[in-house]
Amino acid sequence: GVVTIGYYLLLYFTNKEVFFNLYAWWAGLIPMLFFMVLGTLQLRKKLTTLSFSTALQTSFLIFVLSSLLFYIFYYVLLKYLDPEMLTIQQETALKTLERFGQGRGDDLEPYEEFYREEGLEISWLTVIFRYVQSLIGGFILSLGIAFVLKNK
């Protein structure tokens, strides 16, 4: 979690727009994955045999805690430290919609209208929702890690 926060602070201080870049966002999973694997490997070394369920619990717990730290950081940054980041996030979202919608004939007008009229807000509820969504992906990643690292 701390390494992931460090990664996003680096993005924040170098270029705030990159903070919300789709590829940079996915790259933020790399430190979490690294520590999920490292923690599970350390437990396997300590126990000598590691069941699938124990490996799954370990890697998922690491993801849960790392992700929780990140989303607390995300909330504090956008709500209190730099609320202007919401405007940057909104602009980045519109650019992403335009880029992925080109050539497919998607009607982006409702999305663009929403962002222009409503804007983005940050609240505990939205952050908790995003956190819970991330847990689904984290569980799937943990399943893969557990399958690969189990030795029992």
84-96: pLDDT as tens digits? 999 898 888 778 7
Cα–Cα distances in angstroms (integers) from residue 87 to residues 56, 90, 93, 94, 102, in the given order? 38, 5, 10, 11, 23
Q: Indicate the pLDDT class of residue 152, thresholds 50, 70 and 90.
A: confident
Q: pLDDT per residue over 115-150, tens digit each?
A: 666 667 889 999 999 999 999 999 999 999 999 999
Model-level pTM? Answer: 0.86
* Range with lowest mean pLDDT among 45-59, 96-110, 130-144: 96-110
